[in-house]
Structure 1
Amino acid sequence: MRRSSDDTRTGSQAGKIPGNPDIKTMSITPLSKENLRATKIQRKDFDEIPRNPIYLVLDSLKCAHNIGTILRLADAVLATKVYICGNTIVPPNQKIKSASRGAEKWVPWEYRENVIEVVRALKDSGINIVSLEVASSSVPYTEVSYQLPVCIVMGREYDGVSPEVLDLSDHIVHLPIFGMANSLNVSTAASVMMYEILKLIEPASADQNSKLAAAG
């Protein structure tokens, strides 16, 4: 059988790596929606499963897309609750619903006008307060030994976390920026922080990994 002109140039063969004919490629495909669903708890039982000891406080976020994305993130890490505070936007809102992909209905959330009262109440109940903010006393997020339960405070897109909330915080951390931008998008930064915290909750992660492997 004649090789195509492309095969002649590269020496490639089906199932092999060009230039290394003895090394076969692996066929890796994404899990189907049905296989992913098989790794998850049944919807009817979802409210009964224990949540991770993670709280989020959104301090006067203005962008519906960011709020929706963070609600979707909170669902992903099985956070206990999200407090949406101050001058902000709350569900039901089409932009929030679109960004969260409907996850807002699976996440316990509450609107509270006064963010300081919320943070103080959480702190008084023994929850560690971590504000994500670039401040004179902030440290890189990887240099803190986080303790559970923990609350992550995310500030407004332009103004950041309220100074009064920073004063109540047990830790103020930032994500190092090595380029020219001053910071990351608030929902992107929240993603980094949530999965950093999730490292403290290994059993749940290990269980999910085993289910994914079985589904594949």
Structure 2
Amino acid sequence: MQATHDSTTFEKKKFPIVLILDGISSPANMGSLFRLADAFGIEKLIFCENPVDLKSNRLKRTARATIKNVLFEERENSQAVCMELKLEGYKILALEVASGSIPVQEMHFQNQDKVALVLGNESRGVKKEILEMADDLLHIEMFGDNSSMNVTHAGAIALFEITKRLQPVR
């Protein structure tokens, strides 16, 4: 029998992870990112460059009830957000296939690391200026002909790998 939300035995955890969403524009992707943030116990989402329309039926359908549980902010400038978080001690990680990027599963973390993971716009990816200021560039190894995937799928894979390596906040 399929488990319900109330009958799972998953242990709730919070991870010191902030998702910086650099120009994400699709309501479906925004809704999926709320679900991912809830599923992986991250601190918050920071939507940059594009407003979040919480009245969008597509966003609400995709996010389900997670909009109520997940902290989020809307900010104008993703670079400024990255700089602020860097000053607060966050490690800025950009998820992008780029020169010098490493596979996400090869990234090493210390127990006290705070992570700001930057996910880029659906067509343009992460801004060049953010790639240049990031502490590390990460990519997901792919084995087909394509070199990209949907931003929410990529975010899910990255969060899975990162949370496996980070200790939750106690």
Q: Is the 8 A contact 2:44 2:70 kept in 1?
A: yes
Residue 161 of structure 1 aligns to a residue whose secondary structure is: coil
Q: Does 1:184 align with 2:149?
A: yes
Q: Residue 69 of structure 2 is aligned with which of 85, 106, 109?
A: 106
Counterpart-to-counterpart distance in 2, 1:96 and 1:125: 31
What is residue 170 of structure 1 aligned with on the other side? 135
Q: Is the 8 Å Cα contact of residues 84 and 110 (structure 1) preserved in structure 2?
A: yes
Q: With structure 1 as the length reference, what TM-score do the two structures score?
A: 0.71
Deviations 1:136-157 (A, max 9, x none): 1211112221342101100001
Residue 157 (str. 1) matches residue 122 (str. 2): yes
Cα distance change, pair 161–203 in 1 and its aligned pair in 2 (3 A): closer
**Structure number with higher relative contact order (C-alpha < 8 Å, ≥ 6 residues apart):** 2
User: What is the CA distance between 1:90 and its match in structure 2?
Assistant: 3.8
Q: TM-score, normalised by structure 2?
A: 0.89
Mapped partners of 2:159, 2:37: distance in 1 = 8
Distance 2:167 2:14 in 1: 14
Match of 1:31 in 2: 3
- Helix, strand or coil for the counterpart of 1:199? helix
Tell me which of 23, 40, 49 is aligned to 1:86. Answer: 49
Return the index of the structure with the highest Cα Rg. Answer: 1
Give ranges in structure 2 of 5+ residues lacking alignment: none
Structure 1: stretches of 5+ with no match in the other structure: 1-28, 42-48, 205-216
Question: For residue 88 of structure 2, what is the aligned residue in structure 1?
Answer: 125
Q: How far does the alpha carbon of each residue in 1:102-133 deviate from its partner, in whole angstroms, 9 at most, with x for none? A: 21111000000111110100011100011000
CA distance in 2 between counterparts of 1:33 and 1:165 reads: 37
Amino acid at match of 1:156: N
Moved more, 66-75 or 92-101: 92-101
RMSD: 2.1
Deviations 1:24-64 (A, max 9, x none): xxxxx33245423xx479xxxxxxx9732111000001111
Seen in structure 2, the aligned counterparts of structure 1 residues 180 and 32 have a Cα distance that, compared at 3 Å, is same
Cα distance per residue 1:67-103 (max 9 Å; x no partner): 1101110011111111000035442422111111121
1:176 CA drift (Å): 1.2
Give the residue type in structure 2 aligned to 1:145: H
Contact 1:57 1:85 in 2 (8 A): yes
Given the alignment of the two structures, is residue 73 of structure 1 paired with residue 45 of structure 2, yes or no? Answer: no
Whether the 8 Å contact between 1:154 and 1:161 is mirrored in structure 2 is yes
The amino acid of 1:98's aligned partner reads R
- What are the Cα deviations for residues 133-192 of structure 1, in whole angstroms up to 9, with x where unaligned? 011121111222134210110000110001111111111011112112221110001001
